[in-house]
Structure 1
Amino acid sequence: MDEAVVVFSRKGLFQTRITAREVRSREHARKLWPLVAPGAIHQMVTWVSPSFENDKLRRRSHFRQLPAEKTYDIKTQFEEEETSRQHAVHESPEHRRAKELIAAELARRLAAGLAMPWAFKDAEASDYPLEGNLLLGADQVVTEHTLNTPFGSRFRLDIAVLGPPIQTEPMVLGGVEIELGHAFDGRKALIGKSLGFALISIDITEMTVDDINAQWAEQALTATTRSHEQGRRQTYIYLHDLLYPLYAQLPTFLDREQRHQYLMFADDATLRKLMNWMKLLAKTLDYPSGSVAVAIVNGKSEQSRKMLEHAGQVVGPDWEQFNNHQCLRLTVPRPKSPADLQAHRFHMTMARLLLSHADALVGYKYRNGVDNDHPEDDVWVAHRWIADQKIHTQHRVLPKRLAEPINRLMKVVSDLQRSHDSGGTSIAEIG
């Protein structure tokens, strides 16, 4: 099968098709997960990577349809895969050594006051790179750190970078997972859809203990691409779209005021709760009065109804399914640089609240007051006239839709019928 449907895309539910050739890697497939076959019956499929022999293509990438015989329980499957992973890594001396050396390298950098920069570019989302520092604001590096998921399960992060708490618990600023090359890991896909921080995944498949040393650890953390027979990265960064505005390096001509806006759709009680949380967060982080603007947009008058509909057009055609009479609008200063600690802590905490504590659909405007002239586009496109050169340029900025409610994801995925294949492959299979 050459084509599949992306269940959750920036255009909405079951609205985007993708060809197997457009899927760049197993990690990319995880970001797109879940995928289903085209047609009236949305049967789940897995992406199968291309295979090579003597540098020649032996098998093209394609989608393989999975059997549809029983309901997929997302929580149960996650916990089974987490248990299986912990058993596998416990028995792996390579994993243990890699974890210890990566943690030691991060701790060394932290103690020396050095940054741990990362960068990548998501060409589908923006013309501009995403850049961050895994150690910004950190005060400790720990191993075997347990985290809770929004769907009630727990998982153990190999390495966590922690910072001072905003309230009570230390703030998770970043994480690293050492991967043993599991080809079918639905667990990682689910984690990637619920994290409020950057997760660096380092693949040690086919490496021996002798290959894993201090020099390797330093190179693995700073690598963005590695040569591989499948063209895959050995080091990969998982980052939720909700954090793209924090890390996107946008030129100043796009937004002279340097303020951007988040649009949140959820039930009335959740919107009120989010409004109180955002006000408290801004106060806790010492933002000047008025610099963070939080307001409910309701549709009680004709003018406010138009404002609500315009906000809905940004987030997508299904916005009324979440709340058809009001939304929350948050306008906040854009990060001044990758080293802006105040903005870093605000945006990361906001992401954690939205992903873990609120069932919200989240839209985005890269500057206050930007007109959504093309609501059919799922990425903002800015137009610029350069007078002295007499040329007109276009710039893909950032996505308009940043986050789906996690409970909606769970319900839709649970309704997709599938089961183990004849070889006993995980039903959370992602090829």
Structure 2
Amino acid sequence: MDEAIVVFSRKGIFKTTITARDVRSREHARKLWPLVSPDESRRMVTWVSPSFDNGKLRRRSHFRVLPDQLTFKPKEHFDDEEAIRWHSVQESPEHRRAKELVAEELSRRLNAGLAMPWTFKDEDASDYPLEGNLLLGADQVATEHSLKTPFGSKFRLDVAVLGPPVQAEPMVLGGVEIELGHAFDGRKALIGKSLGFPLISIDITEMKLTELTPEWAQRVLTTTTRSHEQGRRQTYIYLHDLLYPLYAQLPTFLDDEQRHQFLVFADDQTLEKLVQWMKLLADKLEYPKGVVAVALVNGKSDQARKMLERAGQVVGPDWQDFNDQKCLRLTLPRPKGPGDLQAHRFHMTMARILLSHTNALVGYKYCNGVDNNHPEDDVWVAKRWIVDKKTFSEHRVLPKRLAEPVNRLIAVVSDLRRNHSTDRLDV
């Protein structure tokens, strides 16, 4: 199968088609998950990577239909995969050694006051790189750190980078997961759609115990573009789109104010809570009064209605499914760079709140007041006048839609399988 449907996109549910050759890697497929067949059956599919023999293409990339099940419950599927993974890594001396070495290297850097920089570029989302420091604001490194997902499941991070609490518990600033052979696509996809921090995935498939050394740990943590012969990276960073504005290294010419804006659609009660939470967060992190502007856009008047509709136009056509009367508009300074600790703690806490404690749809404007002249585009495109050439240059900035509830995803996927099974039984 050469084509598949991306279930969730800014254009709506089942509105985006992708070809197998457009998928760059297993990790890219996980980010697009769930994918379904393009026919009316809407059966779930998985991406199969191309294979090569002595440099020659032996099998093209394609999509394969997954086996039917009478019921498919993503939470139970996640829990099963987590249990299988935990059992397999417990029996692996290679996994244990890799985990210890990575934790030791991160602790060494932390104690020495060294950074742990990472960088990558998402070609689908921006012309600009994403850069961060995994140890920014950290005070400890822990192994086998347990976390709870928004859908009620628990999983263990092989290595967690922790910082002082903004609220009650230590802040998870980053994580490392050691991959050992099995892809665990559903589990990793759901984790990637739930996290409010960078997750570094390190593949040690086919590595021997003797190859796992302190030098290996240093090398694997400091390269995010190291390639296998098949073109896959040994180290990969999973980062939720909601954190892209924190880490994107955007040029200053985009706007003079250096402020950006988040647009949140959720039910009335959630929006009221978010107003209070965001104000408390700004106060806790000692932003000067008024620097973080938190406001509800309530479409009661004609002018306010137009503002609400323009905000909805940014996030996508399904905004009214979340709230057709109001939204939250959060405007604050863009991060000054990878070392901006205040912005780092605010954006990461905001992401965790939105992803873990709300069922919210989140849109984004890279500067205050930018006009959405091309609502059909999923990514903001900025134009800059080039005097010498007397023409405009175009710059893809960041996505207009950053997040949607993982619980909504789970509900749709569950209905997808249930409806298909019902149709099959009725025939």
Give TM-score, length-normalised by structure 1: 0.96
Work out the CA distance in 2 between the residues paired with 1:65 and 1:26.
16
Aligned counterpart, 1:425: none
Residues 201, 236 of structure 1: 8 Å contact kept = yes
Residues 26, 49 of structure 2: 8 Å contact kept = yes
Residues 71, 416 of structure 1: 8 Å contact kept = no
**Higher mean C-alpha deviation, range 38-47 or range 287-296:** 38-47
Aligned counterpart, 1:353: 353
Count of paired positions: 419
Q: Aligned letter for 2:376? A: E
Work out the CA distance in 2 between the residues paired with 1:122 and 1:346.
23
Aligned counterpart, 1:56: 56
Residues 2, 20 of structure 1: 8 Å contact kept = yes
Aligned counterpart, 2:168: 168
Q: Kindly indicate whether residue 308 of structure 2 is the aligned counterpart of residue 308 of structure 1.
A: yes
Work out the CA distance in 1 between the residues paired with 2:306 and 2:227.
52
Residues 81, 185 of structure 1: 8 Å contact kept = no
Work out the CA distance in 1 between the residues paired with 2:309 and 2:39.
31
Work out the CA distance in 2 between the residues paired with 1:70 and 1:310.
42
Deviations 1:314-344 (A, max 9, x none): 0001110110010000001100111000000
Unpaired stretches in structure 1, ≥5 consecutive residues: 419-431
Residues 55, 229 of structure 1: 8 Å contact kept = no
Shift of 1:204: 0.0
Shift of 1:231: 1.1
Give the match's secondary structure for 1:145.
Answer: strand
Residues 136, 341 of structure 2: 8 Å contact kept = yes
Work out the CA distance in 2 between the residues paired with 1:343 and 1:37.
41
Aligned counterpart, 1:204: 204
Work out the CA distance in 2 between the residues paired with 1:69 and 1:290.
53
Aligned counterpart, 1:363: 363
Q: Aligned letter for 2:61? A: S
**Higher mean C-alpha deviation, range 85-94 or range 181-190:** 181-190
Q: Aligned letter for 1:32? A: L
Give the match's secondary structure for 1:313.
Answer: helix
Matches within 5 A, 1:144-155: 144-155=144-155
Work out the CA distance in 1 between the residues paired with 2:338 and 2:175.
18
Give the match's secondary structure for 1:317.
Answer: coil
Shift of 1:68: 3.0
Work out the CA distance in 1 between the residues paired with 2:11 and 2:208.
44
Aligned counterpart, 2:243: 243
Deviations 1:264-311 (A, max 9, x none): 000000100111100000000000000000011011000000000000
Matches within 5 A, 1:202-351: 202-351=202-351
Residues 202, 220 of structure 2: 8 Å contact kept = yes
Q: Aligned letter for 2:160? A: A
Aligned counterpart, 2:66: 66
**Higher mean C-alpha deviation, range 152-161 or range 174-183:** 174-183
Q: Aligned letter for 1:334? A: R
Shift of 1:144: 0.5
Deviations 1:181-203 (A, max 9, x none): 21343111110000000000000
Give the match's secondary structure for 1:94.
Answer: helix
Aligned counterpart, 1:428: none
Give TM-score, length-normalised by structure 2: 0.97
**Higher mean C-alpha deviation, range 68-77 or range 316-325:** 68-77
Q: Kindly indicate whether residue 187 of structure 2 is the aligned counterpart of residue 157 of structure 1.
A: no
Deviations 1:137-189 (A, max 9, x none): 00000101000000001000000000000121000000000000213431111
**Higher mean C-alpha deviation, range 85-94 or range 63-72:** 63-72
Shift of 1:389: 4.0
Q: Kindly indicate whether residue 40 of structure 2 is the aligned counterpart of residue 40 of structure 1.
A: yes
Q: Aligned letter for 2:212? A: I
Q: Aligned letter for 2:226? A: R
Work out the CA distance in 2 between the residues paired with 1:130 and 1:292.
23
Aligned counterpart, 2:180: 180
Shift of 1:67: 3.1
**Higher mean C-alpha deviation, range 11-20 or range 196-205:** 11-20
Shift of 1:395: 0.4
Residues 10, 317 of structure 2: 8 Å contact kept = no
Shift of 1:392: 1.3
Residues 162, 172 of structure 1: 8 Å contact kept = yes
Q: Aligned letter for 2:391? A: I
Matches within 5 A, 1:64-213: 64-213=64-213
Give the match's secondary structure for 1:125.
Answer: coil
Deviations 1:353-377 (A, max 9, x none): 0000000000000000000000010
Residues 81, 184 of structure 2: 8 Å contact kept = no
Give the match's secondary structure for 1:410.
Answer: helix
Aligned counterpart, 1:429: none
**Higher mean C-alpha deviation, range 115-124 or range 402-411:** 402-411
Give the match's secondary structure for 1:161.
Answer: strand
Give the match's secondary structure for 1:182.
Answer: coil
Shift of 1:230: 2.2
Aligned counterpart, 2:425: none
Work out the CA distance in 1 between the residues paired with 2:404 and 2:167.
26
Moved beyond 6 Å, runs of 4+:
none
**Higher mean C-alpha deviation, range 388-397 or range 187-196:** 388-397
Unpaired stretches in structure 2, ≥5 consecutive residues: 419-427
Work out the CA distance in 1 between the residues paired with 2:68 and 2:324.
35
Q: Aligned letter for 1:316? A: G
Q: Aligned letter for 1:291? A: V
Q: Aligned letter for 1:384? A: R
Residues 361, 403 of structure 1: 8 Å contact kept = yes
Work out the CA distance in 1 between the residues paired with 2:295 and 2:202.
41
Work out the CA distance in 2 between the residues paired with 1:58 and 1:228.
17
> RCO (CA 8 Å, sep 6+): is it higher in 1 or 2?
1
Q: Aligned letter for 2:67? A: P
Deviations 1:68-101 (A, max 9, x none): 3322101111111111101000000000000000
Q: Kindly indicate whether residue 372 of structure 2 is the aligned counterpart of residue 372 of structure 1.
A: yes
Q: Aligned letter for 1:10? A: R
Shift of 1:378: 0.5
